[in-house]
Amino acid sequence: MADWDVRELDTADEPSMRRHWELTKAANADRPFDLVWGWETAWATYSGGRKDSDVHVLGAFDGTTMVGSGELQLPLHDNLHLAYSEVFVDPAVTRRGVGSAVLAEVERRVRDAGRDTVVVEVYAPAQGPSPNLEFARAHGYTPALEEGMKALDLAATEDRWDRISEEIAGHHAAYRLVAWRERVPEEVLEGYCRLQEAFNDEAPMGELEVEAEKWDGARVRAREERLARGGLTELAVLAVAADGEAVGLTELARSRHVPWRAMQSGTLVLPGHRGHRLGIALKLANLRSLRQAFPAVSHVFTGNAGNNAAMNAVNDLLGFEPVERCIEVQKRLRSDADGSAADG
């Protein structure tokens, strides 16, 4: 097996980042939809940097040719024990140890950073085995959370929106919905932060060893700047109770560089306010905003844990269809003093 040269890349070097992005695309080419962010978004993010994570990109080289790559993100605001990673290999050189070499370097760097847990997203067919999951298991990673990835064909399903709106209207009449694009309004900024902090505690997280996040206005505005720099427009709707408390939120993002799709992120309704059809009211309002602002978007993509019965029911009603699975796998690393040879 070849001895691959794995080294850190300069995220300000456009050719290196372009090759990393190309490997990402190639490694994901067998998925049912192309959901990799466009090059323009990726380059803007790498070259502009992030304030919420310390990002490192690795390349595996055969001579002067990069044949594999990896990305390592170390959260800076919270979850300081965690590292998030991805590994990509040129399909022409799979099963030759490239991925293993990149992953070994990722884990070394995670230890050096004083972190003890690595989380990786693995995509798999809706049914059947996954070579990527087998690779992760072989290296000591265990499935911690599985989500069904779903697609919504807007043209095929929007004719049901009026009927759904009529059916749920009386259930959430006591709540006010606040919608926006790109920038969280100051009037709901504090409540927005509290909802983001509640997400990891309230949403199904399986066996993932994650803690609640820490959000404030500065983090929100920095994120908004990063999204805008990458050509992303975020659309959101927040639910406000009669007493002024922010109790529900949904968000999705559309890229001007890949204008046919939108990516759903979190949707959350706080305990004590569930049962009022707020989840579907929030998502339906956001879909209407999306359709009005960006009529070229044909599909919306989301993911739900299998045990999230309420959100799965919402998405089924809206017409989302399963297309693949996302399995978040994690590995608890041991320091050299603890006997790192036992890893995996």
Query: 240 with 200, same domain?
Result: yes
* Residue 340 predicted with pLDDT over 60: no
Sheet-wide strand order for 117-125 = 5-8, 53-62, 65-75, 82-89, 117-125, 321-332, 142-153, 299-305, 258-269, 246-255, 232-240, 176-181
Q: What is the pLDDT of residues 53-102, one digit of tens each?
A: 999 999 999 999 999 999 999 999 999 999 999 999 999 999 999 999 99
pLDDT for 66 equals 98
Neighbours of 312 (CB within 10 A): 17
d(CA 204, CA 206): 6
Query: 248 with 113, same domain?
Result: no
Tokens of 88: 């990509």
Mean pLDDT calculated for residue range 191-209: 92
pLDDT for 307 equals 81
d(CA 237, CA 179): 4
d(CA 314, CA 285): 13
pLDDT confidence band for 308 (50 / 70 / 90): confident
Stretch among 15-24, 44-53, 222-231, 327-336 having the lowest mean pLDDT: 327-336
Q: What is the pLDDT of residues 3-23, one digit of tens each?
A: 899 999 999 999 999 999 999
For residues 61 and 7, the answer to whether their CB atoms sit within 8 Å is: yes
Q: What is the pLDDT of residues 38-51, one digit of tens each?
A: 999 999 999 999 99
- Beta strand pairing status for 299-305 and 258-269? parallel
3-state SS of the chain is: CCCCEEEECCCCCHHHHHHHHHHHHHHCCCCCCCCCCCHHHHHHHHHHCCCCEEEEEEEEEECCEEEEEEEEEEECCCCCCEEEEEEEECHHHCCCCHHHHHHHHHHHHHHHCCCCEEEEEEEEECCCCCHHHHHHHHCCCEEEEEEEEEEEEHHHHHHHHHHHHHHHHHHCCCCEEEEEECCCCHHHHHHHHHHHHHHHHHCCCCCCCCCCCCCCHHHHHHHHHHHHHCCEEEEEEEEECCCCCEEEEEEEEEECCEEEEEEEEEEEECCCCCCCCHHHHHHHHHHHHHHHHCCCCCEEEEEEECCCHHHHHHHHHHCCEEEEEEEEEEEECCCHHHCHHHCC
Query: 247 with 160, same domain?
Result: yes
Q: What is the pLDDT of residues 259-277, one digit of tens each?
A: 999 999 989 999 999 999 9
* Residue 287 predicted with pLDDT over 90: yes
pLDDT for 205 equals 85
- Beta strand pairing status for 299-305 and 142-153? antiparallel
Neighbours of 219 (CB within 10 A): 18
Percent of the chain with pLDDT over 70: 97
Q: What is the pLDDT of residues 101-128, one digit of tens each?
A: 999 999 999 999 999 999 999 999 998 8
Query: 257 with 124, same domain?
Result: no
> Which residues lie across from 179 on neighbouring strands?
237
Q: What residues make up the domain containing 287? A: 150-325
Query: 165 with 119, same domain?
Result: no
Tell me the longest C-alpha to C-alpha distance in the chain: 66
Domain count for the chain, please give it.
Answer: 2
pLDDT for 335 equals 60
d(CA 296, CA 219): 30
pLDDT confidence band for 25 (50 / 70 / 90): very high
Query: 128 with 63, same domain?
Result: yes
Query: 244 with 130, same domain?
Result: no
pLDDT for 253 equals 97
Query: 42 with 189, same domain?
Result: no
The residue that leads in pLDDT, 337 or 144, is 144
Mean pLDDT calculated for residue range 326-330: 96
Query: 261 with 202, same domain?
Result: yes
The pTM score is: 0.92
Query: 235 with 289, same domain?
Result: yes
Amino acid at 239: A
Query: 253 with 126, same domain?
Result: no
* Residue 203 predicted with pLDDT over 90: no
pLDDT for 41 equals 96
CATH assignment at residue 87 = 3.40.630.30
Average pLDDT over the chain reads: 94
Q: What is the dihedral of CA 305, 309, 313, 319, to 10 degrees?
A: 20
Query: 180 with 299, same domain?
Result: yes
